[in-house]
Structure 1
Amino acid sequence: MTAHDSTSRATPTPRFGVNYTPTTGWFHHWLDFDLDAVRADLDSIAALGLDHIRVFPLWPLFQPNRTLIRPGAVEQLVQLVDAAGERGLDVNVDGLQGHLSSFDFQPSWTVTWHRRNIFTDPDVVAAQEEYLRTLAAALADRPNFLGMTIGNEINQFSSGPHPDPDRITPGQAAAWLRRVLDACERGAPGGFHLHAEYDAAWYQDDHPFTPAHAACLGAATAVHSWVFNGTAQQYGPRSAATVHHAAYMIELSKAWADDPHRPVWLQEVGAPHPHIATADAARFTDSTVAAALDCPDLWGVTWWCSHDVDRALADFPELEYSLGLLTNDRRVKPAGRSIARIVGAWRDDQHAHHAAPRTTALIVDAGDEDTAPHRSVCGPGGKVFDAFMRLAEAGARPTTVLAARADDRKHLAARGITEVVAPGDVR
């Protein structure tokens, strides 16, 4: 597999997992790595019935100098992956952290006196390639290692609203993605390697990371669904738009995919307070996951996040402290009980939950297929978004198709689409 492939690696049934937030020290736990604390965290995750975790090395700690990748840090990552395997948990590793929960983590050799564009500077990109290759190679022989995600929403460094972005073009973004994905492949051939952006890639007209990049590069399409992006505020926390937002992003991604059955990974989704009231977290969880599971070719659902952030840590946005399925002292919360119940029901009766094809497709016209200069039509308040949500509220199961493919009978047949509808025709 190369970074140019759109390879179908869908599992027979969706996977259920969680983004791992350590209870001790948050992601700063790498500074004082305590394997016993990690094991206790993983025990509480496995007790929910989940089958995988996504983990986050901090790039500046693992590669503090452009030519130094710390062997001790890599070994700690291997220990974490092995501990997860002992508990029946597969592991996806995010490499370039990058951005987490409002904080940026960039090594000193890319900022201030050493400021260089992290997407285009040849020395920086070569160092990123070696770092990602090294992490992948260290885990390549672990049977529970799924593969690499390039980084957590690293696209936020490329454009506003970031206060100091490294500006690039869509062509430069594609070239960078191909290089770093190929580096992961060199380290762990055949791994489930992918990249993941926040929703500016889908909704922001001038964003250099595009829907085509997300839907065509790497082993799967990753979507991160957060209803604090204006959805909950504009439509209401209990609206069809809010509980179907994750399913909408899954189905929207398919408009750009060359592979009609490309796997889509709902890699981040959570119930952010106060946009979702604490009392409504379980209901939101049930409805959101049920809608996502009604999407064909879903690789899996990975909730954000495992454990609440310790309130002894300062300066996080308020919503970040309460997103866990478990409290910071590892007690299961209502959303955690919902996830455990869903996982148990699915595994008890897998065939009853197989998602049928979505036969009605909304036409997406965002301009040029590669750069999508008018993709805001897909965001909250846009005509594609609103038409999709009107159909969902009426009980329909819509998907999407690019305007350029709306008359392509072979493409429509491959996806099981029998009806194509313009957004303006949905009343």
Structure 2
Amino acid sequence: MRFGVNYTPSRGWFHHWLDFDLDEVKADLDSIAALGLDHIRVFPLWPVFQPNRTFVRPRAVEQLVQLTDAAADRGLDVNVDALQGHLSSFDFLPSWTATWHRRNLFTDEEVVEGEAEYIRTLAAALHGRPNFLGMTLGNEINQFSSGPHPDPDRATEGQIDAWLRRMLAACEQGAPGRTHLHAEYDAAWYQDGHPFTPGQAANLGAMTAVHSWVFNGTAQRHGPTGVATEQHAAYMIELSKAWAADPERPVWLQEVGAPSPHIPPEGAAAFTEATVAAAADCEHMWGVTWWCSHDVDRALADFPELEYDLGLLTNAREPKPAAGALARAAAEWRGRPAPQPRKTALVVDAGEDTQEATAPHRSVCAPGGAVFEAWAALAADGVRPAAVLASRAGDTAHLAARGITEIVHPHEVCPPDSRTPSARSAAAGAPAARTPSVRSAAARTSEEKNPHA
């Protein structure tokens, strides 16, 4: 497993690209490397790098290369996000997509070609660097595609699919053979009708990226130390595998953090340790990348309160307790044998078989949903649950490839009328009042030809 951090500069936040200071960057990278981490994720600001549709600033690209080289000198590999896009509640869109030039980010042909050229340019500039891992298309750019964004760029699932494939092709054209991927916030997994789908997330690109944030209702329902909270990242990792065609597809926990007050500051280190331990117990994990490296300077205005203190390090580059926890976890989990397969799988029915990739009813997977609460209850009982689509629950070859020998339905774990009390008991660490009804995959195959029966 790899262990890294999302790099937030200690001086000026991501506005540092406007006053790029390589010495300041090097000092930040020194403080990251001192934690024993091995990679960073870097965020160019899109309007700063591409202020005009046909102009990518050479000086900005040069500064990105300088940052990458400085990271290499400190033993840090680099993944680069391109379309920023959206960061910590602020949108950064170039003027050629807004107001008088308002055009859809995902469907307007000129905008899409401009995006592709920008991505190709960054990828090509970094291709010769041995510590360049590859490109991520953008930071949670799916938030622009639907509500709750106040001015979304609406697109259909098919249009988003075409956009993702075109952007990933641009990455490959610029830097052939590198690890290129896309990454969404959890609406892709949890929000009915969202045009970015679980099928896209789990099958397009070199690996699946998961962004796990427990302020999405998880910590509110289950508390800061509830099993569902401490294993939320592991749940999303396992959920992603339900849609993956390749049973060995790698998964990257690309964003996870300890947001206050949902995770109290005094509990951040314990949350970090528990989150990493649960994620590391999932097969085919590429790595964990914590959000984020340094706190946001409180001289900067208008951030949501929780954004200011997410750093592992202060603005003075001093490590906080969570930094020590991640450093210890990295040292503990690197080089460990791969975890054993998860033999018990929870059935995920998020829509009809013919629509499984789009998951029209994927809200069953969200906090409070039948799948989410059943998975949490199983985990609280000491089970190591996997997840399998209802349409694949009778596919013996698929189950065997994943090492699954038993399956269970959500209603067998948490009947709808008892779901909330059951979840609260699990969160409180109370003994389970029931034993899950689990049947072998082989038995279920012979009993149920209809996966929705």
CA distances 1:388-413 after superposition (whole Å, capped 9, x unpaired): 00010111100100011001111111
CA distances 1:212-244 after superposition (whole Å, capped 9, x unpaired): 000010000000000000100111111011001
2:163 to 145, 151, 176: 176
Per the alignment, residue 350 of structure 2 pairs with: 366
Counterparts of 1:254-333 in structure 2 under 5 Å?
254-333=241-320
Alignment length (residue pairs): 411
Question: Any unmatched runs of 5+ in structure 1?
Answer: 1-13
Give the match's secondary structure for 1:372.
coil
Q: Distance in 2 between matches of 1:364 and 1:117?
A: 33
Give the letter aligned to residue 19 of structure 1: N
Stretches of 4+ moved more than 4 A in 1? none
Per the alignment, residue 3 of structure 1 pairs with: none
Q: Distance in 2 between matches of 1:346 and 1:262?
A: 20
Q: Distance in 2 between matches of 1:188 and 1:420?
A: 42
Question: Any unmatched runs of 5+ in structure 2?
Answer: 415-453
Per the alignment, residue 226 of structure 2 pairs with: 239
Per the alignment, residue 31 of structure 2 pairs with: 44
Per the alignment, residue 250 of structure 1 pairs with: 237
Is 1:336 matched up with 2:320? Answer: no
Is 1:136 matched up with 2:93? Answer: no
Q: Distance in 2 between matches of 1:281 and 1:346?
A: 19
Give the match's secondary structure for 1:113.
helix
Query: 2:117–2:170: 8 Å Cα contact kept in structure 1?
Result: yes
What RMSD, in angstroms, separates the aligned Cα atoms of the two structures?
0.6
1:151 to 138, 153, 157: 138
Q: CA deviation at 1:323?
A: 0.3
Q: Distance in 2 between matches of 1:159 and 1:145?
A: 32
Q: Distance in 1 between matches of 2:106 and 2:348?
A: 29
Q: CA deviation at 1:346?
A: 2.5
TM-score (norm. length: structure 1)? 0.96
Per the alignment, residue 381 of structure 1 pairs with: 368
CA distances 1:156-203 after superposition (whole Å, capped 9, x unpaired): 000000000000010011000000000000000011000000000000
Give the match's secondary structure for 2:4.
strand
CA distances 1:284-341 after superposition (whole Å, capped 9, x unpaired): 1111110000000001000000000000000000000000111111000000000111
Q: CA deviation at 1:354?
A: 2.4
Q: Distance in 2 between matches of 1:360 and 1:133?
A: 43
Counterparts of 1:23-42 in structure 2 under 5 Å?
23-42=10-29
Q: Which has the larger radius of gyration?
A: 2
CA distances 1:105-151 after superposition (whole Å, capped 9, x unpaired): 00000000000000000000000000000000000010000000000
Q: Distance in 2 between matches of 1:357 and 1:185?
A: 32
Query: 2:79–2:132: 8 Å Cα contact kept in structure 1?
Result: yes
Per the alignment, residue 85 of structure 1 pairs with: 72
Give the letter aligned to residue 350 of structure 2: A
Q: Distance in 1 between matches of 2:399 and 2:338?
A: 20
Q: Distance in 2 between matches of 1:317 and 1:344?
A: 33
Per the alignment, residue 356 of structure 1 pairs with: 340
Q: CA deviation at 1:343?
A: 1.2
Per the alignment, residue 122 of structure 1 pairs with: 109
Q: CA deviation at 1:344?
A: 1.6
TM-score (norm. length: structure 2)? 0.90
Give the letter aligned to residue 111 of structure 1: A
Per the alignment, residue 11 of structure 1 pairs with: none
Is 1:62 matched up with 2:46? Answer: no
Is 1:400 matched up with 2:387? Answer: yes
Per the alignment, residue 88 of structure 2 pairs with: 101
Per the alignment, residue 8 of structure 1 pairs with: none
Q: Distance in 2 between matches of 1:244 and 1:345?
A: 18
Give the letter aligned to residue 397 of structure 2: K
Q: Distance in 2 between matches of 1:397 and 1:344?
A: 24
Q: Distance in 2 between matches of 1:387 and 1:216?
A: 25
Identity in percent: 75
Give the match's secondary structure for 2:117.
helix
2:6 to 12, 19, 37: 19
Give the match's secondary structure for 1:194.
coil
Give the match's secondary structure for 2:359.
coil
2:177 to 190, 205, 209: 190
Q: Distance in 1 between matches of 2:282 and 2:315?
A: 32
Give the letter aligned to residue 132 of structure 1: I
Q: Distance in 1 between matches of 2:400 and 2:312?
A: 40
Query: 2:280–2:333: 8 Å Cα contact kept in structure 1?
Result: no
CA distances 1:29-88 after superposition (whole Å, capped 9, x unpaired): 000000000000000000000000000000000000001000000000000000000000
Give the match's secondary structure for 1:129.
helix
Bigger relative contact order (CA 8 A; separation at least 6): 1
Give the match's secondary structure for 2:80.
strand
Q: Distance in 1 between matches of 2:381 and 2:143?
A: 35
Is 1:111 matched up with 2:95? Answer: no
Query: 2:378–2:413: 8 Å Cα contact kept in structure 1?
Result: yes
Give the match's secondary structure for 2:106.
coil
